[in-house]
Amino acid sequence: MTSSLADRLSRYQAQLRADLEPELSGRLTRMVGLTLECVGCPMVVGDRCVIKGEGSGTVEAEVVGFEDDKVYLMPLTAIEGLKPGARVVPLSAASRVPVGPLCWAAWWMAVVSLLMEKGHFRPKPGFPLPAKSSTS
């Protein structure tokens, strides 16, 4: 009996969870006008980040400067629900997804299975192999 696509994908998802890296983050320490100050998150000018406010509020921001261990941010979206101590996550870390051979194999298996189930892909019953030539 073949397992369903959902069962196979959930098995692969469980294996991928073990490979996830810890998320790098800092904290918001101050806001003066539109300038936000963050510590604990090594970023360079031009990097983007997400500031996780209270509730479901998030603010996307860009690094515009630094001083000692402080990083200065300029918000790119509306500022809502921010307070001192809000979590700051670099977008490169926030949007990273582990992808390797196992993930690609699972994706291809899912696509082929789906196409076969829908009747869009029907493999031929056999494919002739070339005859092996004998050299003496």
Q: What is the pLDDT of residue 94?
A: 47
**Rounded Cα–Cα distance for residues 85 and 70 (Å):** 14
Q: What is the pLDDT of residue 5?
A: 80
**Alpha carbon separation from 92 to 24, 46, 51, 82, 95 (Å, rounded):** 10, 12, 13, 21, 6
Please, what are the averages of pLDDT over each run of 10 residues along the chain (136 residues)?
73 66 83 93 90 84 93 92 90 60 77 78 69 66
Q: What is the pLDDT of residue 50?
A: 93
Q: What is the pLDDT of residue 91?
A: 87
Listed in sequence order, the DSSP H helices in 18-123 are 91-94, 101-118
Give the closest residue to 96 by CA, choosing from 11, 16, 1, 3.
16
